[in-house]
Amino acid sequence: MRKFLLSTLAAGLMVAAFPALAEEAALPHQPWPWLGVFGQYDKAQLKRGLQVFREVCSNCHSLKLVAYRNIGYFGFTDDEIKDIAAEKQVQDGPNDQGDMFMRPARPSDRFVPPFPNDQAARVANNGALPPDLSLMTKARPGGPDYVFALLTGFTDPPKNFTLPDGMYYNEAFPGHQISMPPPVADDAVTYADGTKATKEQIVKDVTAFLNWSAEPELDVRHSLGLKVMLFLFVLTALLYALKRKIWADVH
């Protein structure tokens, strides 16, 4: 009990001494469609999010844990997936002469990163290494709410805030200094399904896509959980009826 009280007091003192910690921890909650027992991904939204990733995010960020064939879940045909993958080149080999060669990516390949290695990525981004986005919504406290807040949190710094050259002020990023410039704006993409591409819509769509990349099994898990709960409910009712039948003559 004493340790618990001391820990609680220490946490309170930290928040009081560093109000920025409390400020950064408070993220606006978004009504994501996959939340809750009955939550499911919106496949049309995932398609739009993939488009945003391909046209905007993939210029700097990788998605190393996702294969092109995985996007078949969104409703793409096999030919469409092949065409999307073939837009990128990957190194393969060796061939019969022992040489490595380049070929169009296949559905079985992982998403091709924009840079051949981390050092090349740093050189192209003024020393900053753009993180891989495969598990981003799991890697940050707040998950998709953090990603949404980060992408919409770019603003001018306060008057008393000194921002180094090459850095940008972001309300959601710890320390508020981030090397990534604002990645999206209104009409940054033209959606294939005709959806109006406002900044908020773009951010919601790409955040949904990134959450899917981190939890592609979520829909199956929710569906299975619902079936298990229904099974347990029916089983409980049957066992209760059986109990009543067996002990009906006992007073």
pLDDT over threshold 60, residue 1: no
- Is there a domain that residue 92 lies in? no
Distances (CA, A) of 199 to 25, 143, 154, 183: 23, 19, 12, 10
- Is there a domain that residue 187 lies in? yes
Per-residue pLDDT tens digits for 172-218: 999 999 999 999 999 999 999 999 999 999 999 999 999 999 999 99
Per-residue pLDDT tens digits for 64-74: 999 999 999 99
Q: At 229, is the pLDDT very low, low, confident or very high (cuts 50, 70, 90)?
A: confident
- Is there a domain that residue 243 lies in? no
Range 179-187, long-range pairs (CB < 8 A, 24+ positions): 179/125, 179/126, 179/127, 179/128, 180/60, 180/128, 180/130, 182/154, 183/56, 183/57, 183/151, 184/52, 184/56, 184/151
Structural domains in the chain (count): 1
Return d(Cα 170, Cα 183) in angstroms, integer: 12
DSSP result, 7-38: HHHHHHHHHHH-HHHHHHH-------TT-STT
CATH of the domain at 189: 1.10.760.10
- Is there a domain that residue 39 lies in? yes
Q: At 247, is the pLDDT very low, low, confident or very high (cuts 50, 70, 90)?
A: confident
Q: State the residue range of the domain holding 202.
A: 2-64+132-216
Average pLDDT of the chain? 88
- Is there a domain that residue 146 lies in? yes
- Is there a domain that residue 165 lies in? yes
Tell me the two tokens of residue 204: 């919601």
- Is there a domain that residue 240 lies in? no
- Share above pLDDT 70 across residues of the chain, in percent, rounded to a whole number: 90
- Is there a domain that residue 43 lies in? yes
